[in-house]
Amino acid sequence: MKFATQLSTLLMTLVGSTIAFADVAAEVEASNTEFEKAFNSGDAAGVARRYTEDAVLLPPGMPNVVGRDDIEAMWQGFMDSGAQELELKAESVDAYGEAAVETGSFSLSAPGADGDLTPMSGKYLVVWRQDGEGAWRMHQDIWNDDPVE
Amino acid sequence: MKFATQLSTLLMTLVGSTIAFADVAAEVEASNTEFEKAFNSGDAAGVARRYTEDAVLLPPGMPNVVGRDDIEAMWQGFMDSGAQELELKAESVDAYGEAAVETGSFSLSAPGADGDLTPMSGKYLVVWRQDGEGAWRMHQDIWNDDPVE
């Protein structure tokens, strides 16, 4: 009986961990879908709501962008430049209690040096945090670009 | 007395959290110093030892590099190209139990398009993990470049 109890506890712990992991990964995927929808319809406020209030962006070729308001302005400027058709693809999600780390790849179309819409792609890493209401939001967001083809 | 006990417990928890945080930040700083020393003396194996066995690099302009052996080869190639004088500057460290997230900035000298050594700089985000022996190692490492001046 003791062994059976231990086994049962172990199985419940494993199942619990797996459910917790699946929950975070599913929340991340759901938020990414909302991010894509907001971005591709020009809704910068909707994009910004995916971030924590004090989130930090670390974009290539420009200084860090700190806080949801400045993040909204940054994405608004990027949309205004003509960027569109964003797709996000999560490739790994690691849960660490109140935080989670996602890596993935993105693609979009944006005006190139000649002004023509050009396909672009790259990799990203996002640190997610769960807020007091249980919602997972992006807290740190860094990416870099693949070579232009 | 009950209040005093609660206050004491609260204070001990706060002090404990602060010590745990200081420990991780100090470990990160110490590892970064070893990383700089190894890099700047051409010791790619020493650089690679700063990473977990199954670490992932997400470098700009090239595919992900997975595992300590391939990470060592990547840094060896970068050193062989003439890169030198690496400096790392941690700007934030957030502890999440067995993991921690560091952001910072880097600078180095590397051959530019004309082959001359050129100062370069950028931002990075590293996810650290504590191994079974208590050592903190880099598990995911992503960076991007500031504009070339």
Model pLDDT for residues A125-147, shown as the tens digit of each residue: 999 999 888 899 999 999 999 97
ipTM surpassing 0.90: no
CA A116/CA A63 separation, integer angstroms = 26
Per-residue pLDDT of chain B in tens (149 residues, 90 and over written 9)? 466 666 666 555 555 555 555 689 999 999 999 999 999 999 999 999 999 999 999 999 999 999 999 999 999 999 999 999 999 999 999 999 999 999 999 999 999 888 899 999 999 999 999 988 889 999 999 999 997 65
pLDDT score, position B59? 96
Kindly determine whether residue A96 and residue B94, on different chains, have CB atoms separated by under 8 Å. no
If you measure CA to CA, which chain A residue comes closest to B123?
A58
Q: pTM here?
A: 0.86
Kindly determine whether residue A99 and residue B103, on different chains, have CB atoms separated by under 8 Å. no
The answer to whether residue B90 neighbours chain A at the CB level (below 8 Å) is: no
pLDDT score, position A115? 87
Tell me the per-residue pLDDT of A10-36, one tens digit each, with 9 for 90 and over: 655 555 555 555 699 999 999 999 999
State the count of interchain CB pairs (< 8 A) between A and B.
Answer: 74
Kindly determine whether residue B64 and residue A123, on different chains, have CB atoms separated by under 8 Å. yes
pLDDT band at A109, cuts 50/70/90? very high
Measured CA to CA in angstroms, residue A123 lies from A60, B35, B66, B136, B138 at distances of 11, 24, 14, 25, 18
Q: Is the pLDDT of residue A95 over 70?
A: yes
**Do the Cβ atoms of A142 and A123 come closer than 8 Å?**
no
Nearest to B120 by CA among B134, B109, B112: B109
Q: Indicate the SS3 state at residue B61.
A: coil
Nearest to B101 by CA among B140, B52, B49, B66: B140
The answer to whether residue A59 neighbours chain B at the CB level (below 8 Å) is: yes
B65 to chain A nearest CA, in Å? 12
Kindly determine whether residue B61 and residue A146, on different chains, have CB atoms separated by under 8 Å. yes
pLDDT score, position B48? 98
**A25-55 as b/e: b if 16+ CB within 10 A:** bebbeebbeebbebbbeebbebbbbbbbeeb
For residue A58, give the nearest of B61, B123, B147 by CB distance. Answer: B123
The answer to whether residue A58 neighbours chain B at the CB level (below 8 Å) is: yes
